[in-house]
Chains A and B, each alone.
Chain A
Amino acid sequence: MLSRTADSLYWVSRYVERAEYLARILDATSRLTNLPSDYGGAGTEWQSAVSTAGCEDEFAAAYGEANERNVCEFLTFHPDNPSSIRNCLAQARSNARAVRTALTSEMWDALNGAWLELQRFEKKRMDREEFARFLDWVKNVSLVFDGSAYRTMLRDDGYWFSRLGVYIERADNTARILDVKYHVLLPANEQVGGSLDYFQWTTVLREVSALTAYHWVYREAVKPILIADLLILNRRMPRSLAACYESISRFLDALGDAYGRQGPAQRHARKTLATLNNTRIESIFQHGLHEFIEDFIIDNSGLSNTIFEQYLQ
């Protein structure tokens, strides 16, 4: 297939996944800040949402203060934020339109319909309730798109590139949440105890929709080290780094088999997967959670570049 087609399929998935991620961050942050101040954090939740979305510089240029109104506006519809929900969906649709025929009509309908609907939301003045509905709608767009890709695409290279986009982006998103929130997961904070941190921890879980999963997996009270274990190493948890890399490696192998040639991307993914499989959470904490996450983010974006060089240019 054309390299550009594969590239667009890859990015369509990444943008849709990112839009959903932004909606989750906003949703979880709203919950946290709505708590009575006794339970809340240090009042920096909205700044932390901007950091988690990875657009601190752009935000600082557009606004001064990180309050609810500014952050919500910036992460949803702001034209100067290349990674706003609006721009993610616009980019997804624009990429999709350029390779229309490589998508199934169900996938196109999901994106094109979302794009038309988005313009209706954009024109409205939204109160809190309406805003919550909007965030649900964004998550739903991602579900529908993902579902139609899963249910309608031929299982060939187009599908594999599209899936690679999903999992590379998802791994990046999960890692970014950990990167911003690592300090609340560190043992030092655990000793502080109390309700304050509990709600910070559950926010992390909510951002990856894993609160229920946590209880099923660990059958224990929420503990920072187990949260990190769930998000990094637990292969049963679909947003964990290990689960993402299991998929990435599988789809890269499928490409390698179909094309009859393995390359640097396959080797890179296998190496990262092996690291995730052979590491215990205690040793990650021992060597530094923050450093581990930072290294992972760089490594993950390195794989994205390798995929680009091997297939997409």
Chain B
Amino acid sequence: MVAFDEMTGSGQELRPAYDALDRWLKEAPPETLALRRSQAELFFRRIGITFAVYGDEESTERLIPFDIIPRVLTKPEWTRLEAGLRQRVTALNMFLADVYGAKECLKAGIIPPDLVYRNACYQLEMVDFQVPHGVYCHIAGIDVVRVDADTFYVLEDNARTPSGVSYMMENREVMLRLFPELFATHRVAPVDNYPDQLLATLRSVAPRSAPSDPTICLLTPGQYNSAFYEHSFLADKLGVELVEGSDLLVRDDVVYMRTTQGPKRVDVIYRRIDDDFIDPLVFRSDSVLGVPGIIGAYKAGNVTLANAVGTGVADDKAVYSYMPEIVKFFTGEEPILKNVPTWRCREPQDNAYVLDNLEKLVVKEVNGSGGYGMLVGPHADKAQIESFRRKLKASPEGFIAQPTLALSTCPTFVASGVAPRHVDLRPYVLSGANGISCVPGGLTRVALKEGSLVVNSSQGGGTKDTWVLDA
């Protein structure tokens, strides 16, 4: 399987977007690249941009490897991608409003009702509740992969609390510092207005009863969360307080922050805590991260949660396989972005095919995330395949399968020099009361191991700066 390379296409000819970058790579001595890379690492270490790996007792704070060679997209490529993202996120929001409201798509048979009703992420508390301004998924991260010059697939929708946007911004920051000359020769669309757009989005969805200058805060599970750096980074850029559950209190269905000058009312909460942990009175009672009574305040219309509670039903991997139909049903348009062809193991014929072809397929657990609970057939050994075969037979409804895609590659600076490595892309899409916005590009993740298709940072993936050329 030969992958499409974003610099050289399928053959040896250079794609125009990479013209100047290619020249620069040829001219720059390897020592310079190595020096710049260590400077970049120093920068990241100094600012403390780290993440935690679950189950890794030894070093709880690690740096995600950063590759100094940017990934380049042309304006026309981005324009089409963006149109597809807007369409997809519009449909996600309409889908959520529908499954918690009129349930038209279930009545119309677009998606089997039990996929929604039996899904633990379908929050009963949200049924028939009007979310402020009708927006459910304020911040979405749509994982996109590319297989040839014209084809992008959506690999996964992240509609709960997508992370990584701080890397998008810090990657650009370090590139601007280390390679000012490259920015002089490329017209790269900026990403540093993301916090402004996010703030505008959050302000726009404040409850109608809130003052015109609403109080916003960012709710984090705390400094031991893997994305804590990002939470603190965003709170700082947004100019809002970074709060933990214990910093908030609820009195008579109103949420307040504990401040040195007494309780201060909060109107909008950008929460980076999962549904299950956000209110011990409603969800898991053993949660110490959450705020008792916050769901009561939410349902009384006194505070907006972003994202809304219950968005997880839209990014479930089993629901994912129905997204093309969902997009068409709600927007009346053909989907601009394709789905990866998906076998639903809950359907007996599909499961039979999957069981016969495990060594060729990627099998994913519908509730798994971050590359855990996943089988990459071509890279798995016999024991792994057999263990998945048992799981699939025991509970087929817990899995989906997809073909092993030839993810596109980008030139990457590795130990042996500059070599192609597989990449994906996570653009961030914001939905507010006044519509959708999306900064050009997003976070490119790269599988640093040769031939590897797993880009997750917890599994040896790195990141790159993503350039959308403005010309």
Q: Which residues of A contact B (CB under 8 A)?
A: 1-6, 94, 97-101, 108-109, 112, 157, 161, 255, 259, 311-313
B48 cross-chain contacts in A, Cβ below 8 A: 97, 100, 108, 112
User: Are B244 and A4 neighbours in the complex by a CB distance under 8 Å?
Assistant: yes
B241 cross-chain contacts in A, Cβ below 8 A: 2, 5
User: Are B259 and A2 neighbours in the complex by a CB distance under 8 Å?
Assistant: yes
A310 CA to B441 CA, complexed, in Å: 48
A312 CA to B260 CA, complexed, in Å: 6
User: Are A101 and B236 neighbours in the complex by a CB distance under 8 Å?
Assistant: yes
User: Are A6 and B223 neighbours in the complex by a CB distance under 8 Å?
Assistant: no
A255 cross-chain contacts in B, Cβ below 8 A: 260
B258 cross-chain contacts in A, Cβ below 8 A: 2-4, 313
A112 CA to B48 CA, complexed, in Å: 8
Known: A101-B235, A108-B48. A2 touches B223 (CB 8 A): no
User: Are A101 and B242 neighbours in the complex by a CB distance under 8 Å?
Assistant: yes
Known: A2-B241, A2-B247, A108-B48. A100 touches B260 (CB 8 A): no
> B321 at the A/B interface (Cβ < 8 Å)?
no
* Contact code string B255-288 (vs A, CB < 8 Å = 1, else 0): 0011111000000000000000000000000000
CB pairs A–B below 8 angstroms (25 shown): A1-B259, A1-B260, A2-B241, A3-B247, A3-B258, A3-B260, A4-B243, A4-B244, A4-B246, A4-B247, A6-B260, A97-B223, A99-B242, A100-B48, A100-B232, A101-B232, A101-B235, A101-B242, A109-B46, A112-B46, A112-B48, A157-B260, A161-B260, A255-B260, A312-B260
B222 cross-chain contacts in A, Cβ below 8 A: 98
Query: Of all chain A residues, which has the CB nearest B46?
Result: A109
B243 cross-chain contacts in A, Cβ below 8 A: 2, 4
In the assembled complex, the CB of A137 is this many whole angstroms from the nearest CB of chain B, namely 19
16 further A-B pairs in the complex, CB-CB below 8 A; given A2-B258, A3-B258, A109-B46: A1-B259, A1-B260, A2-B241, A2-B243, A3-B247, A4-B247, A5-B241, A97-B48, A97-B223, A97-B228, A98-B223, A99-B242, A100-B48, A100-B232, A101-B232, A255-B260
A4 cross-chain contacts in B, Cβ below 8 A: 243-244, 246-247, 258
B236 cross-chain contacts in A, Cβ below 8 A: 100-101
In the assembled complex, the CB of B435 is this many whole angstroms from the nearest CB of chain A, namely 30
A313 CA to B260 CA, complexed, in Å: 8
A6 CA to B258 CA, complexed, in Å: 11
Query: Of all chain B residues, which has the CB nearest A311?
Result: B260
B247 cross-chain contacts in A, Cβ below 8 A: 2-4
B223 cross-chain contacts in A, Cβ below 8 A: 94, 97-98
A97 CA to B243 CA, complexed, in Å: 13
Residue among B46, B235, B243, B259 with most chain A CB within 10 A: B259
A94 CA to B61 CA, complexed, in Å: 12
In the assembled complex, the CB of B461 is this many whole angstroms from the nearest CB of chain A, namely 24
Size range of the chain B interface in the assembly: 10 to 19
B228 cross-chain contacts in A, Cβ below 8 A: 97
A94 CA to B60 CA, complexed, in Å: 13
In the assembled complex, the CB of A128 is this many whole angstroms from the nearest CB of chain B, namely 32
User: Which of B232, B242, B246, B260 sits near A259, CB closer than 8 Å?
Assistant: B260
B261 cross-chain contacts in A, Cβ below 8 A: 259
User: Which of B46, B232, B257 sits near A2, CB closer than 8 Å?
Assistant: B257
A161 cross-chain contacts in B, Cβ below 8 A: 260
* Contact code string B80-97 (vs A, CB < 8 Å = 1, else 0): 000000000000000000
* Contact code string B218-256 (vs A, CB < 8 Å = 1, else 0): 000011000010001001100001111011000000000
A259 CA to B259 CA, complexed, in Å: 11
Query: Of all chain A residues, which has the CB nearest B242?
Result: A101
A311 CA to B258 CA, complexed, in Å: 9
Query: Of all chain B residues, which has the CB nearest A1?
Result: B260
* Contact code string B193-233 (vs A, CB < 8 Å = 1, else 0): 00000000000000000000000000000110000100010
Query: Of all chain B residues, which has the CB nearest A312?
Result: B260
10 nearest CB pairs, A to B: A101-B236, A3-B258, A311-B260, A100-B232, A98-B223, A6-B260, A97-B223, A4-B247, A259-B261, A2-B247
A99 cross-chain contacts in B, Cβ below 8 A: 242
A3 CA to B260 CA, complexed, in Å: 5
Query: Of all chain A residues, which has the CB nearest B236?
Result: A101
A94 CA to B46 CA, complexed, in Å: 16
In the assembled complex, the CB of A108 is this many whole angstroms from the nearest CB of chain B, namely 7
Known: A98-B222, A100-B48. A3 touches B235 (CB 8 A): no
Query: Of all chain A residues, which has the CB nearest B261?
Result: A259
B260 cross-chain contacts in A, Cβ below 8 A: 1-3, 6, 157, 161, 255, 259, 311-312
A37 CA to B260 CA, complexed, in Å: 54
Query: Of all chain B residues, which has the CB nearest A258?
Result: B261
In the assembled complex, the CB of A103 is this many whole angstroms from the nearest CB of chain B, namely 11
A157 cross-chain contacts in B, Cβ below 8 A: 260
A97 cross-chain contacts in B, Cβ below 8 A: 48, 223, 228
Query: Of all chain A residues, which has the CB nearest B234?
Result: A101
In the assembled complex, the CB of A159 is this many whole angstroms from the nearest CB of chain B, namely 13
B244 cross-chain contacts in A, Cβ below 8 A: 4, 98
A69 CA to B246 CA, complexed, in Å: 42
Residue among B222, B244, B246, B261 with most chain A CB within 10 A: B261
Known: A100-B232, A101-B232, A101-B242. A3 touches B46 (CB 8 A): no
In the assembled complex, the CB of B245 is this many whole angstroms from the nearest CB of chain A, namely 11
A283 CA to B381 CA, complexed, in Å: 84
A108 cross-chain contacts in B, Cβ below 8 A: 48
A312 CA to B243 CA, complexed, in Å: 14
Query: Of all chain B residues, which has the CB nearest A7?
Result: B260
